[in-house]
Structure 1
């Protein structure tokens, strides 16, 4: 488990889905619930629904469109916002994420949420899990028009909040996003070893990963 040089960190940038929240909600919605409801509402089999949806998802992965509920509502002719509410009971905090957030706020770190989630998804999750009080800002990539995978997101973030990448920690469960942050110059990067509680650990490749938020606050004053 990585040991963080907290004296060298002023700003903590945190992803939401798979990092602070269990990714099971999102995986279940997009891979199981949405295909099921698509099949029912369009009068096709579940198998056919999956055959139609999975290539679409793959084609838009990593783009802002992939995270946009308005795009998918129009593309699939489905009320995606309303459908997401049908499985909202699955939205859950990852173990000890709130303990970690409270500790870094108490230590005087600047704490900012940066998520690719659409504002409607963000609002739905904040209704279920009280995250907002821990953060100075809650930023959706849709605010800037660029997904976190895009270098222009980081330029926009810098212009907006004026952080020092060399003195910042960023935690995210998506490797292409971590690589984008690294190219921008963010010095301290951590992946998440098991973003979905129902699936096993993932290979985080060149990135150190955290699986226990309690260990990250060791040495934090």
Structure 2
């Protein structure tokens, strides 16, 4: 059993079911072409640069449209229809968060790689974000996981002790970095495993 004072949640992939395929399955009739588009045009690193605050849609969308004119409308949809990439909350994980909030045994925070431009969509849609004492958003800070500086920043801003903090994330790279910095970690795969581990830690 670990001595946990704080739980630090990732959002996308842990509490929010975000995936560009939720949108682009509506746009592409050919799944192979969709995957090619998402790996070569609006690819993960391109999205990461928005999350990091290094790119803005005002510049990045026209640039891609110039380079891939045959995908003009599909590229525009990334910004114009972005909310459709959020299928909804991952209900069972949200239930875990709500249980933790109700028991009031630990402090609750979030650390998310999320574009500052699209963050308002999340705030408008997900009431459970109000359960957090604080949320650090990568795009607002111009830093993104797994950069050690963003972990230092979340600790400084919210006065967290890594050795008393359980960090939950679905990215192995982020988990590895957090572990190297002294955090307790849970590499998220499904809510059932997370809940079982929290029961072992007597958080429930």
SS in 2 for 1:159: helix
Q: Distance in 2 between matches of 1:95 and 1:63?
A: 25
For residues 36 and 158 of structure 2, the distance between their equivalents in structure 1, rounded to whole angstroms, comes to 42
User: Is 1:70 the counterpart of 2:53 in the alignment?
Assistant: no
The unaligned stretches of length 5 or more in structure 1 are 40-44, 195-209
Matching residue of 1:14: 9
Match of 2:124 in 1: 127
* Aligned with 1:184 (options 181, 185, 199): 181
Once the two structures are TM-superposed, the CA of residue 53 in structure 1 deviates from its matched residue by 5.1
Let me know the Cα RMSD of the aligned residues: 3.2
Output the CA distance in 2 between the equivalents of 1:109 and 1:60.
Answer: 34
> Does residue 1:26 correspond to 2:28, yes or no?
no
CA distance in 1, matches of 2:144, 2:179: 15
Paired residue secondary structure (1:118): coil
Q: 1:154 aligns with which of 140, 151, 155?
A: 151
Give 3-state SS (helix, strand or coil) of 2:89's partner. coil
Gaps of 5+ in 2: 66-75
Residues 1:47 and 1:75: Cα distance change in structure 2 (over 3 Å): farther
Alignment match of 2:91 (pick from 84, 89, 95): 95
Per-residue CA deviation, residues 82-136 of structure 1 (Å, 9 max, x unaligned), is 2113x26x52222322321122223331111111011343321332221222100
Q: How many residues align?
A: 188
Q: TM-score, normalised by structure 2?
A: 0.74
Q: Which moved more, 1:115-124 or 1:49-58?
A: 49-58
Contact 1:104–1:217 (CA under 8 A) maintained in structure 2: no
In structure 2, the residue corresponding to 1:131 is in which secondary structure?
helix
The residue aligned with 2:192 is 211
Closer/same/farther in 2, CA of residues 214 and 53 from structure 1, 3 Å limit: closer
Map 1:49-64; keep pairs closer than 5 Å: 51=36, 54-57=39-42, 60=45, 63-64=48-49
Q: Deviations over 1:45-75 (max 9, x none)?
A: 9977765652355572694446657244344
Looking at structure 1, the residues matched to 139 and 104 of structure 2 have their Cα atoms a distance apart, in angstroms, of: 30
Normalization by structure 1: what TM-score?
0.69
